[in-house]
């Protein structure tokens, strides 16, 4: 029987890693409530196993064969871009550091790029490629977008998969890949001599010496959602909410403020994402212990039946449903959180 009580679909990318260094260091957080949730919940599975794919799955959007998930046009909307039927790619500013025969990539999360620096580098790009029918927009210092006249035959890797790693295994593939490898190399040389980067070096900052292209696609229609409200601060979710004509609410500090009066609410709690991208086990443990306290009012609301259920998505392919009946499964002993971490 379908419950008429309000409910939450809670997406927590990075909740269960990947964090391989956690096992190597033997550092396990104290998270009794999260352990209780995972042990007592009813588990189901999705055909997707990362944050962006999970979000698009909930909105009824699937990539075409040999195509990226179209994160760019939706993130661009969150950054103030008008709805546009064209093909957009994310052109993320990055720092590339020599590592043996390859290059390590560091994303803008560690670069502290100012808007003025971003605009200066974007202007260099526009001037250098002025004969190309491209349009480069700076949505924010960290997020830039490149509009192309048509979809290239190119398959790219999401930025979060590449951060902190050697780019060789993640370079774009497809029949046009060699063209775009050359373009990316050209951008590296262009940015290397930029005044912006000379000043950054003088201040002891990492240079912004490259772009990472990813998330190419066009805006797509979304399925009629079962969510009456959305609560998030993350740009992909904000853009999708805007496209679905749902006004998103900001993520509150206290989880009790998440409880809807009625209907189903979709929530993105992305506090783990930075620690996973940085492969920071100590930071991840701190976030986990804070999250364990943060989730307590939600579990109390489920137990008291003020909330019908919570669907918990760690964005790893599993979905954990918690309702009052599940929380009463005292015979299911909690397993240590380390059992669930990849």
Q: Which of 23-37, 121-135, 139-153, 257-271 is the least confident region?
A: 23-37
Alpha carbon distances (Å) from 135 to 90, 99, 114, 305: 12, 32, 21, 52
The pLDDT tens digits for 142-201 are: 999 999 999 999 999 999 999 999 999 999 999 999 999 999 999 999 999 999 999 999
Is 91 within the bounds of a domain? yes
Bridge partners of 212, per DSSP, are 92
Q: What is the pLDDT of residue 3?
A: 59
Is 2 within the bounds of a domain? no
Same domain, 144 and 195: yes
Count how many Cα atoms sit within 13 Å of the Cα of residue 178 in the half-sphere of its side chain.
1
Task: Give the span between the Cα atoms of 13 and 220, in whole angstroms.
Answer: 23
Same domain, 96 and 53: no
Give per-residue burial for 57-76: e unless 16+ CB within 10 Å, then b: ebbebeeeeebbbbbbbbbb
Domain boundary residue, one of 192, 217, 242: 217
Is 18 within the bounds of a domain? yes
What's the rounded mean pLDDT across residues 113-122?
98
Range of the domain at 137: 71-217
Same domain, 245 and 202: no
Confidence label for 321 from pLDDT (cuts 50, 70 and 90): very high
Q: Does 27 score more than 90 pLDDT?
A: no
Same domain, 142 and 40: no
Confidence label for 42 from pLDDT (cuts 50, 70 and 90): very high
Same domain, 205 and 240: no
Domain boundary residue, one of 217, 244, 278: 217
Is 169 within the bounds of a domain? yes
Same domain, 183 and 257: no
Is 35 within the bounds of a domain? yes
What's the rounded mean pLDDT across residues 284-306?
96
What's the rounded mean pLDDT across residues 325-342?
90
Is 155 within the bounds of a domain? yes
The owner of tokens 């994310």 is 90
Q: What is the pLDDT of residue 310?
A: 97
Same domain, 230 and 308: yes
Same domain, 184 and 165: yes
Count how many Cα atoms sit within 13 Å of the Cα of residue 257 in the half-sphere of its side chain.
8
Phi–psi pair at 177, nearest 5 degrees: -65, -40
> For residue 18, is the peptide bond before it cis, meaning its omega torsion is within 30 degrees of 0?
yes
- Cβ neighbours of residue 313 under 8 Å, at least 6 residues apart? 9, 10, 11, 12, 46, 54, 319
Is 66 within the bounds of a domain? no
Confidence label for 17 from pLDDT (cuts 50, 70 and 90): very high
Task: Give the span between the Cα atoms of 263 and 257, in whole angstroms.
Answer: 15
Q: Does 233 score more than 80 pLDDT?
A: yes
Q: What is the pLDDT of residue 4?
A: 79
Same domain, 84 and 205: yes
What's the rounded mean pLDDT across residues 23-37?
89
Task: Give the span between the Cα atoms of 339 and 285, in whole angstroms.
Answer: 15
The pLDDT tens digits for 239-285 are: 999 999 999 999 999 999 999 988 999 999 999 999 999 999 999 99
Where does residue 115 rank: exposed (0-12), middle (13-18), buried (19+ CB within 10 A)?
exposed
Domain boundary residue, one of 174, 196, 217: 217
Structural domains in the chain (count): 2
Same domain, 164 and 26: no
Is 19 within the bounds of a domain? yes
**Average predicted confidence (pLDDT) for the chain:** 94
Same domain, 182 and 76: yes
The pLDDT tens digits for 44-98 are: 999 999 999 999 999 988 877 778 999 999 999 999 999 888 999 999 999 999 9
Same domain, 49 and 80: no
């Amino acid at each position: 029987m379908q419950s008429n009580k309000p409910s939450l679909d809670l997406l927590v990318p990075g909740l269960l890693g990947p964090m391989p260094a956690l096992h190597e260091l033997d550092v396990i957080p104290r998270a009794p409530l999260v352990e209780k949730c995972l042990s007592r919940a009813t588990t189901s599975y999705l055909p997707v196993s990362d944050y962006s794919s999970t979000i698009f799955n909930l909105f009824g959007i699937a990539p075409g064969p040999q195509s990226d998930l179209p994160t760019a046009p939706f993130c661009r909307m969150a950054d103030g871009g008008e709805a546009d039927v064209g093909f957009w790619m994310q052109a993320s500013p990055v720092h590339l550091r020599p590592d043996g025969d390859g290059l390590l990539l560091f994303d803008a999360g560690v670069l502290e790029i100012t808007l003025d620096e971003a605009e200066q580098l974007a202007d260099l790009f526009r001037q250098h490629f002025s004969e190309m029918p491209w349009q480069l927009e700076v949505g924010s210092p960290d997020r830039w977008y490149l509009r192309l006249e048509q979809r290239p035959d190119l398959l790219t890797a999401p930025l979060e998969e590449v951060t902190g790693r050697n780019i060789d295994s993640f370079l774009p593939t497809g029949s046009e890949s060699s063209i775009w490898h050359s373009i990316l190399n050209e951008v590296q040389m262009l940015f290397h001599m930029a005044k912006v980067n000379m000043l950054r070096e003088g201040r002891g900052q990492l240079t912004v010496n490259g772009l990472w292209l990813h998330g190419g696609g066009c805006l797509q229609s979304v399925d009629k959602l079962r969510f009456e409200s959305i609560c998030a601060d993350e740009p992909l979710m904000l853009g999708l909410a805007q496209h679905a004509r749902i006004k998103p609410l900001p993520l509150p500090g206290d989880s009790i403020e998440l409880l809807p009066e009625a209907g189903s609410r979709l929530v993105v709690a992305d506090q783990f994402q930075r620690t996973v991208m940085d492969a920071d086990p100590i930071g991840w443990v701190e976030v986990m212990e804070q999250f364990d306290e943060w989730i307590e009012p939600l579990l109390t609301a489920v137990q008291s039946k003020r909330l019908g259920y919570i669907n918990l998505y760690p964005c790893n392919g599993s979905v954990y449903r918690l309702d009052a009946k599940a929380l009463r499964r005292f015979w299911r002993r909690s397993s240590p959180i380390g059992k669930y971490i990849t």
